A and B are shown apart, each in its own frame.
Chain A
């Protein structure tokens, strides 16, 4: 199993979640975060904004679903045809074990 951490624009959150849900990946956790990227934030006038609000979406998915989910997030979270700075990032990390508390079972 894999943990997908996707940092997306807050306004794209609902769209991404709706699309994932319709493809059968309903389970997700959302956190409001602030951060900056390679561009060192946004400079407007003399003011540098380096705590830009984003939404972090956490999902644990089976390994064979990785490409599908990533492709889906990439397609929706992108703004404009070429994409713009600040559209976000996706990180993928391994997950050893998963437990569902209510059923007490192992696995997704």
Chain B
């Protein structure tokens, strides 16, 4: 018995749900969360985008110097963005299949911010309606 925690883009909630149904795993729990990932350590990667954002005249609305800080935090990954956290309970054999499905549904061309999947062991599960425990309680 495993618990799969998948953090995905808000926009990809529908795609993830569809992918799960196609895999034969309909049950899940989802929460809105805020999150951030690895820092972008290469300054060249954000340089171009940063100039573009800075040239949009955001100085009119905030103190100068502040804008630079906001834009940098926006691009280098130190700021949190909204994401959806899926929790799925699964049999051991189904785990690779589910991971494959979630990963395929969520991959984008941006190369960063697509999310992470964690797989954790679960000690026990009980279905409230029938009281059955263990593997039978998953689905």
On A, residues with C-beta under 8 Å from B are 3, 17, 21, 26-31, 58, 60, 93-104
Contacts and interface: CB of A to CB of B under 8 A. Distances in A.
A99 B116 contact: yes
Contact of A98 (B33, B80, B102, B116): B116
Interface in B79-118: 80, 83, 85, 95, 99, 102-103, 106-108, 110-118
A98 B2 CA distance: 13
Given A21-B39, A101-B115, 16 more contacts: A26-B37, A26-B39, A27-B38, A30-B34, A31-B32, A31-B34, A60-B116, A94-B121, A95-B118, A95-B120, A96-B119, A97-B118, A97-B119, A98-B118, A101-B116, A101-B117
Given A101-B8, A101-B102, A102-B110, A27 B36 contact: yes
A97 B31 CA distance: 21
Contacts of B118: 3, 60, 95, 97-98
A14 B28 CA distance: 30
A27 B7 CA distance: 12
B35 A102 contact: no
B12 to A, nearest CB: 9
Contact of B103 (A27, A28, A97, A101): A101
A102 B103 CA distance: 8
Contacts of B2: 96
B23 interface: no
Nearest to B99: A99
A100 to B, nearest CB: 6
A102 B33 contact: no
A28 B111 CA distance: 19
Nearest to A26: B39
Contacts of B7: 29
Nearest to A27: B37
A3 to B, nearest CB: 6
- 9 smallest CB-CB distances across A and B, nearest first, come from A102-B114, A29-B35, A101-B114, A97-B119, A99-B117, A30-B34, A26-B39, A96-B119, A101-B115
Contacts of A94: 120-121
A28 B32 CA distance: 14
B102 A29 contact: no
Given A26-B39, A30-B33, A96-B119, A101 B78 contact: no
